[in-house]
Structure 1
Amino acid sequence: MRTASNLAAILLVGVVLGLVGRTLRQRSASSGPSPDEVVYTSEVAPGEEPVVSDSSEIANEEVARPPEDEAWLSRFELTERSGELVKSEDLLGQPYVVSFFFTNCPSVCPQQNQKIKQLQDRFEGEDVVFLSISVDPERDTPEVLREYAARFGADEDQWLFLTGDLTYIRRIGGEIFQQPVDKGFHTEKFVLVDAEGKIEGFYSWPESKQFEKLQSAISEML
């Protein structure tokens, strides 16, 4: 009996202590830090100085604004393998086909560029241009692009290989040609742009029917 009484007393004390601890935690959470309390962030290690010295520094009344130079792109300019600057305005008046690639790509890019070679052979001498934009511009300098283009017999006037700043190329892909691109990453689509600079359509080159439709669309534009 005495053992049972002791056990009951211990359980009762535990319940009381639990209720008291819960009440204290609720009061602390509801009141928040006082102006004199030091507020620590999760990035502060024990023994280090806190990043925020008091609760008054937590509030930030500044409204975040995008930089003024971050307007949505509607035009572009990139460096061609020849070293010359190519602007989107220079391409107006003729249809052109845009693709993204990188010279170090082991499989997909060579197949993709073989498709462009087919287009170049079919429309040789006609008023259509092919743009291959590198998504690894740090590696793909104009010199590297010249050597790579020679492997496919790329005509210097009709098939352009372009490079530039990676961040800028990401924006060109996403904001102008609606293609998600990043370093070493691109889609398997050709973007057909008409003579006025407007996108006519997106064509998945691995699909034979779409590749045929692309050629028909180019022929109609010409």
Structure 2
Amino acid sequence: MNRFVNRFFLITFLLSLAACHNSKPHRELDFDESIRNLHQEEHHLHTSPKQDLPFVVHRNLDVVWDASHDDIIRLPSFSFTNQDKETISQETLKGRYVIANFFYMHCAGMCPLIMGNMKKIYQKIQNPNVVLLSHSLMPETDTPEKLKEFSTALGADERWQFVTGPKAAMYELARETYHADTSRGQESLGDNFRHGEHIYLIDPEGRIRGLYNGKNPAAVKALLADLSKLTCCTPNNPI
């Protein structure tokens, strides 16, 4: 009897070991599969729905990939005068890629560095459908004649427009569309204006697709790479 009982427990124990041995790989497989699925879900959450540039929206200058989003920043109607005393407006730029910034000629702070990087961008770009647009924030001193001298010194042609105009209109565009005034509270009123360091990439529909630190060489390279994406150029072709 005891021999039978011992044999029964031995068989039961061996069967239990076999069951554990057979089930372990399945549990490990389930765990590994779960980890793979988790990584795939995280990858899906943190990558864009499309391998394309996002659109910048007014709220916190955040970005979205939905082209139908109602808060996307778009260029409004405007009319300024360039270095050749010609009118530059949203209609002039329609259908073209625009690289924009704000400056004034006698700025002794960040402007020289930003304008130097704008020149590097200008020299890299060969695509005639791309135009640089530099807005002067000092219309009382940065007249078309002065802007012509300035643009000539930079070696710019019609692919780089320097514009001036009524201060109220220029400040409104800078504040309401580009969010370029870094002043705060009561300082951000009237003639008080402290411009930021951004360079803006705008598509042919007048939508802002990217903001870049105009003082940072790496950001300038990123802008050129993003422009290539928008214009569908390959690295071996001119932007």
TM-score range, shorter chain: 0.5 to 0.7
| Aligned-pair CA distance for 1:115 | 0.7
Unaligned runs of 5+ in 2: 1-74, 183-190, 232-239
**Aligned residue runs from structure 1 range 60-75, under 5 A:** 74-75=76-77
Cα contact 1:102–1:184 (8 A) shared by 2: no
| Aligned-pair CA distance for 1:191 | 1.0
Q: In structure 1, what is the equivalent of residue 55 of structure 2?
A: none
Q: In structure 1, what is the equivalent of residue 181 of structure 2?
A: 180
Cα contact 1:113–1:152 (8 A) shared by 2: no
Q: In structure 2, what is the equivalent of residue 147 of structure 1?
A: 149
Cα contact 1:77–1:85 (8 A) shared by 2: yes
Cα contact 1:95–1:193 (8 A) shared by 2: yes
Q: In structure 1, what is the equivalent of residue 117 of structure 2?
A: 115
Number of residue pairs aligned between Structure 1 and Structure 2: 150
Between the aligned residues of both structures, percent identity stands at: 31
Distance 2:115 2:166 in 1: 22
Distance 1:209 1:120 in 2: 16
Distance 2:145 2:205 in 1: 31
| Aligned-pair CA distance for 1:125 | 4.5
Correspondence for 1:87 among 75, 86, 89 = 89
Distance 1:162 1:207 in 2: 24
Instruction: State which drifts further: 192-201 or 106-115.
Output: 106-115
Cα contact 1:136–1:183 (8 A) shared by 2: no
Letter in 2 for 1:172: L
1:183 to 1:128, Cα distance in 2 relative to 1, 3 A: farther
Bigger Rg, which one: 1
SS at match of 2:77: coil
4+ runs deviating over 2 angstroms: 181-185
Distance 1:183 1:160 in 2: 25
Distance 1:125 1:74 in 2: 24
| Aligned-pair CA distance for 1:78 | 0.5
Cα contact 1:102–1:136 (8 A) shared by 2: yes
Higher relative contact order (CA 8 A, sep 6+): 2
Q: TM-score, normalised by structure 2?
A: 0.59
Correspondence for 2:213 among 204, 210, 215 = 204
| Aligned-pair CA distance for 1:184 | 6.6
Q: In structure 1, what is the equivalent of residue 198 of structure 2?
A: 189
Distance 2:156 2:193 in 1: 22
| Aligned-pair CA distance for 1:185 | 3.1
Unaligned runs of 5+ in 1: 1-72
SS at match of 1:197: coil
Once the two structures are superposed, residues 137-167 of structure 1 have per-residue CA deviations (whole angstroms, 9 ceiling, x without a partner) of 1000000111111111111x10000000111
Aligned CA RMSD, in angstroms, stands at 1.9
Matched, 1:171 2:172: yes
Correspondence for 1:78 among 80, 92, 98 = 80
